[in-house]
A and B are shown apart, each in its own frame.
Chain A
């Protein structure tokens, strides 16, 4: 699957700028700050939106694409199972295979307990898992998940990662998010969009490496030297400890970098020499 020179204009605003990349069977993270063009790119790949120029070649006449929109909701008075059966039928799944597939995705997304509950009664995280479940029906050759963790609490995000881990392997998955930590342990590859342009395409570990030697911990909430950026805050022994990503590398900065640190370093141009 290949995306070539994808450009999208909204009037005078350019949302995507000649974005090109290949997709493989790995789980790919699409990172970027709000407004970077992630949702536009996902919609273009899903066929929900026509690009201004460029192509999306999914290498198949009518490939099955699973899509989880940024704000997922469905008919509020259908149960989870009914909804999945309905969407499965609309997706062209034969009646013979449908029940088995629905059972399978319900199990994969740990929704068995909620299978006969109406959609409107589900919590946000459970509803999102149902969203993932419907995106896995088909089975799809490509799964696009747009901001699947937004609005979820820590526990739900943990469950979500577990669900995706179980689902991955048999599909090409693209997860769009602005929270880099969500992809840790889940995706091997990351794409980073900034202002519509693709500024990074590589392994997640490469992304983390941008922050190597740049992370320091300090109780000072306004480090004067170097103009570092805050990437985290923790409280130790009653005191606040700030986590900084510094512009320059230093042997003094010994804290282990995270993917989020690397992502921040990349967005702020601290990637010299890497």
Chain B
């Protein structure tokens, strides 16, 4: 109290009475928080959890930009008011007067920062409640907000204080403007366009952007729902702001008494640290690849940017054949991180250097073959290459790995393992997320093949509350693992359903999410209604039979996870509904082809897959199919974005008629002895050749 009265109170009172500062602070807060709150009000107003989270992510860079500017300017003016001109000498001639005034100023400025953050979080929590976010989701976005907006505004506040005390207004504002310019998406885009930055420098920029949100990262526009959940907060995310804050504080300490040069140097150091990522980006510094330096330095954004930059094949027709898996055996430990021992048994030998896909947040420690022989391997990005299989015909591999996943977690609300991310080794070199919004990439749809998993054992850290899995298995406090065989699609993915004693209800994403969720194209679908789901599944099974596939196994209703992948974005940005590994079915239409293929046991690398896909498309909506696949002679935009096979089917239907085309195609698909590609098959039909076997 004495300290407050002696040092802090007079400065606080003076600042409180200073209309200019209060107005400046108020305008910044109203603009920043108002923008944040306004967008959240829009998102929360839909009472849809994912809407709100998307809004948070989209608005954050702009909110951060406004708050960085206002925080740094307010802090600079605060410092100027106390120390400008020769006022500093009045403090310095008094014993500890300068230290007391500096600390008081720091306390006042940090208090204003905390007030800003508190208001931000209040707004966030209010709309989170309105939107019905679960505790896990709310914790996630709070953490995210504190990390980004909180970190950025704290850095801005301290930088403003340092500049205000040690430099002139001209220099101070120039530094702030320079930092902002370097941080804006425009500069990033220009630099990115002018250079072919290495994936690591891009990643470095991404890390930076995670902390100080002045870039609107492309993946945030169109990221799958998984990425909205529980983003991993790794130490590196704190490291850069920690360095900035420490360097600025060192500068403030040096600014006490008679070492102004040192404080200016510290301010310059902080500034250089801030723009270093951009400088590295612009200079195209060839830094080591992530797999060699820090596997854990992964963010969901860097992942996506990396995919974007690497520019691998994007044509569905160029996908490498992917071997099928005969059996998986998984032993997983899930908490904030995942550790796993996974046995993969392939249907047939892979070749000399088998490649597997595993999200690179996981570090592979050991790989052995089925006989326990240790195998050499390399882990590069999301791919693992077995360098020395014990024998060429090896089909069994045992992976031991651990690390941070893409939103994986286990807590009292359930277990979440993102269905679209390889948290266990997928065979082959697979791309698991495309971001060009044009369906050119092979969509991620590696779902465990029916019967492919022998056993999944998931261990979670005790003591947790009871965890209910989609399979209806209850994990109590007394147990620390659940071991279940699976016959269904995705074991744990998306919004996990919690099985109660008698009734089921959604535990992840909040009931309100599903209750209020409206799929734009299928607004009448009530995804909560169990009867509706049963009808949907019946429809799926009838389609399965329509395709001539055998088997009558019924899918477990409770095992089907209904997660709308992209419809939330559809209205906003006119992005197409993305194909993902979830079932989106209404009474009439199947819209998720990859999932349907997976349901029917058609492997990803299956040579006839493209024909299957096109056929499904045609059967669902012939008219739409023909408009999207205008035929081989077309030169329209539709032609350019559609597949060759689809256009050939259009030509076939138009020249030979619907009945003929479907009968020929079905026969081709059902005949396992037919090994020619879909294009070869269709070309022979179009040229008038008779179909073999018919």
Partners in one complex: yes
Measured CB to CB, the residues of A under 8 A from B are 43, 46-50, 62, 65-67, 69-78, 82-83, 85-87, 89-92, 118, 134
11 contacts between A and B (CB under 8 A): A47-B92, A48-B92, A50-B258, A70-B86, A71-B85, A75-B11, A75-B14, A77-B15, A83-B10, A90-B101, A91-B97
Are the CB atoms of B100 and A77 closer together than 8 Å?
A: no
- Digit string of B400-435 for contact with A (CB within 8 Å is 1, else 0)? 000000000000000000000000000000000000
B262 to chain A, nearest CB (A): 14
Which residues of the partner chain A approach B96 to less than 8 Å between Cβ atoms? 90
- The interface centre, meaning the residue of A48, A67, A87, A90 with most chain B CB atoms within 10 A of its CB, is A90
Q: Which of B6, B10, B18, B92 contacts A76 (CB 8 A)?
A: B18
Q: How far is the CB of B108 from chain A (nearest CB, A)?
A: 12
| Contact between A73 and B18, CB atoms less than 8 A apart | no
> Measured between alpha carbons, how far is A66 from B86 in the docked complex, in Å?
14
Contact at B90–A74, with CB atoms within 8 Å?
yes
Q: A69-B90, A90-B100 are in contact. Are A76 and B81 (CB under 8 A)?
A: yes
Chain A residues closer than 8 Å to B101, beta-carbon distance:
90
Q: Is B93 in contact with A75, judged by CB distance below 8 angstroms?
A: no
Closest-by-CB residue of A relative to B98 is A90
Q: Are A134 and B90 in contact (CB under 8 A)?
A: yes
Q: Is the CB of A92 within 8 A of B94?
A: yes
Please state if A46 and B10 are interface contacts (CB–CB under 8 Å).
no
Taken together as a complex, chains A and B put the C-alpha atoms of A110 and B273 apart, in Å, by 53
Say how far A64's CB is from chain B's closest CB, in angstroms: 9
Complex: A92 Cα to B86 Cα, angstroms: 21
User: How far, in Å, is A161 (CB) from chain B's closest CB?
Assistant: 23
- In addition to A77-B13, A77-B17, A91-B97, 9 A-B residue pairs with Cβ atoms within 8 Å of each other are A43-B89, A48-B93, A62-B95, A67-B90, A67-B93, A75-B87, A82-B13, A87-B97, A90-B100
Residues in A whose Cβ lies below 8 Å from that of B7: 89-90
Per the bound structure, the CA–CA distance linking A175 and B423 in Å amounts to 79
Interface residues of B in 66-103 (CB under 8 A from A): 81-82, 84-87, 89-97, 100-101
A76-B18, A78-B13, A82-B13 in contact; A87/B94 too (CB < 8 A)?
Answer: yes
B85: which A residues are within 8 A, CB to CB?
69, 71, 73
Query: Nearest chain A CB to B45's CB is how many angstroms away?
Result: 41
Task: Report the minimal beta-carbon distance from B510 to chain A, rounded to whole angstroms.
Answer: 48
Whole-angstrom CA separation of A207 from B17 in the bound complex: 49
Which residue in A46, A75, A85 is a CB contact (below 8 Å) of B82?
A: A75
A90-B91 contact in complex given A69-B86, A77-B14, C-beta closer than 8 Å: yes
Q: Across the interface, which residues of B come within 8 angstroms of A74, CB to CB?
A: 87, 90
Instruction: Give the Cβ gap from B683 to chain A, nearest Cβ, in Å.
Output: 84
Which residue of A is nearest B14, CB measured?
A75
C-alpha spacing A90/B96, complex, angstroms: 7
* Closest chain B CB from A74 CB (angstroms): 6
Closest to B19 in A: A77
Q: A78 to chain B: which residues have CB within 8 Å? A: 10, 13-14, 17
Contact in complex: A92, B95 (CB < 8 Å):
yes
Query: Least Cβ distance of B681 to chain A in Å?
Result: 84
CA distance in complex: A87, B94 (Å): 8
| A89→B18 CA distance, assembly (Å) | 22
Q: Determine if A87 and B18 form an interchain contact, defined as CB atoms under 8 angstroms apart.
A: no
Given contacts A48-B89, A69-B89, A77-B18, contact A90 B81 (CB under 8 A): no
When the two chains form the complex, which single residue of A49, A85, A87, A92 contacts B90, counting CB atoms closer than 8 Å?
A87
Chain B residues within an 8 Å CB radius of A86: 10
Q: Is there contact, CB below 8 Å, between A90 and B14? A: no
Do A73 and B94 contact each other (CB < 8 Å), given the known contacts A78-B13, A82-B13, A89-B6?
no
CB-CB under 8 A from B95, the residues of chain A are 62, 90-92
Q: Which of B10, B15, B87 contacts A73 (CB 8 A)?
A: B87
Q: A67 near B10 (CB under 8 angstroms)?
A: no
The CA-CA distance from A85 to B6 in the complex, in Å, is 9
Q: Could you tell me if A71 and B86 are in contact, using CB atoms closer than 8 angstroms?
A: yes
Q: Give min CB distance, B102 to chain A, whole Å.
A: 12
Residues of A contacting B11 in the complex (Cβ-Cβ under 8 angstroms): 75
Q: Mark B8-25, 1 if CB is under 8 A from A, else 0.
A: 001101111110000000
Given contacts A75-B82, A78-B14, A90 and B94 within 8 Å (CB-CB) = yes
Is the beta-carbon distance between B97 and A46 smaller than 8 angstroms? no
How many angstroms between the C-alpha atoms of A151 and B96 in the bound complex? 31
* Closest 3 pairs (CB-CB, A-B): A69-B86, A77-B17, A90-B97
- CB proximity of A101 to chain B, nearest CB, Å: 14
Q: In the complex, are the beta carbons of B93 and A65 less than 8 A apart?
A: yes
Point out the residue from B5, B13, B18, B89 that lies within 8 Å of A46, measured CB to CB. B89
By beta carbon, the residue of chain B nearest A46 is B93
Assembly CA distance A89 to B96 (angstroms): 11
Tell me which residues across on chain B come within 8 A of A83, comparing CB atoms: 10
CA distance A134 to B86 in the complex (A): 14
**Contact residues in A for B97 (Cβ distance below 8 Å):** 87, 90-91
B89 contact set on A, CB distance < 8 A: 43, 46, 48, 67, 69
Which residues in A have their C-beta under 8 angstroms from that of B91?
90
> In the docked arrangement, what's the CA distance between A274 and B81, Å?
50
**In the complex, what residue of chain B is closest to A67 when comparing beta carbons?**
B93
Contact with A along B48-66 (1 / 0, CB 8 A): 0000000000000000000
Kindly state the separation between the CA atoms of A82 and B84 in the bound complex, as whole angstroms.
19
**Across the two chains, which residue of chain B brings its CB closest to A69?**
B86
Q: Which residue of A lies closest to B97 (CB)?
A: A90
Residues of B within 8 A of A91 (CB): 94-95, 97
Q: Contacts of A134 on B, CB cut-off 8 Å?
A: 90
Q: Closest residue to B15 on the A side, CB-wise?
A: A77
User: Min CB distance, B89 to chain A, in Å?
Assistant: 5
Q: In the bound complex, what is the Cα–Cα distance between A83 and B94 (angstroms)?
A: 14
User: Closest approach, in angstroms, between the C-beta of B109 and any C-beta of chain A?
Assistant: 15
Nearest A residue to B101 by beta-carbon distance? A90
Q: Which residue of A lies closest to B5 (CB)?
A: A89
The answer to whether A82 and B18 have CB atoms under 8 Å apart is no
Shortest CB-to-CB span from A105 to chain B, Å, is 14
User: Chain A residues near B13 (CB, 8 Å)?
Assistant: 77-78, 82
Query: A257–B82 Cα gap in the complex (Å)?
Result: 46
CA distance A70 to B96 in the complex (A): 22
Which residues of A lie under 8 Å from residue B93 when comparing CB positions?
46-48, 65-67
From residue A90, how far is it (CB to closest CB) to chain B in Å?
A: 4
Closest to A70 in B: B86
> Once the chains are docked, how many angstroms separate the CA of A29 from the CA of B90?
21
**Bound-complex Cα distance A66 to B92 (A):** 11
Q: Which residue of B lies closest to A92 (CB)?
A: B95
Q: Which residues of B623-663 have CB atoms within 8 Å of chain A's CB atoms? A: none
Contact partners of B84 in chain A: CB under 8 A: 73
* Centre residue among A48, A70, A83, A86 by max chain B CB count within 10 A: A86
CA distance A153 to B376 in the complex (A): 90
Residue among A47, A65, A66 with the highest chain B CB neighbour number at 10 A: A47
Q: How far is the CA of A62 from the CA of B82 in the complex (A)?
A: 25
Question: Which of A50, A67, A73, A77 has its CB near the most chain B CB atoms (within 10 A)?
Answer: A77
Among residues of B, the one whose C-beta sits closest to the C-beta of A134 is B90
In the assembled complex, how far is the CB of residue A229 from the closest CB belonging to chain B, in whole angstroms?
33
Instruction: Give the distance in Å from the alpha carbon of A107 to the alpha carbon of B94 in the complex.
Output: 22
A89 to B4, CA, bound (A): 12
Taking CB atoms, residues of chain B closer than 8 Å to A85 are 10
How far is B9's CA from A82's CA once the two chains are assembled, in angstroms?
11
| Shortest Cβ distance from residue B107 to the other chain A in the assembled complex, whole angstroms | 15
* Chain A residues with CB under 8 A of B100: 90
Contact status A73-B258, CB under 8 Å: no
Contacts of B10 in A (CB 8 A): 75, 78, 82-83, 85-86
Residues of chain A within 8 A (CB-CB) of B90 are: 67, 69, 74, 87, 134
Chain B residues with CB under 8 Å of A87's CB are 90, 94, 97
Q: What residues of chain B lie closer than 8 Å to A47, measured between beta carbons?
A: 92-93
How far, in whole Å, are A46 and B93 apart by their CA atoms in the complex? 7
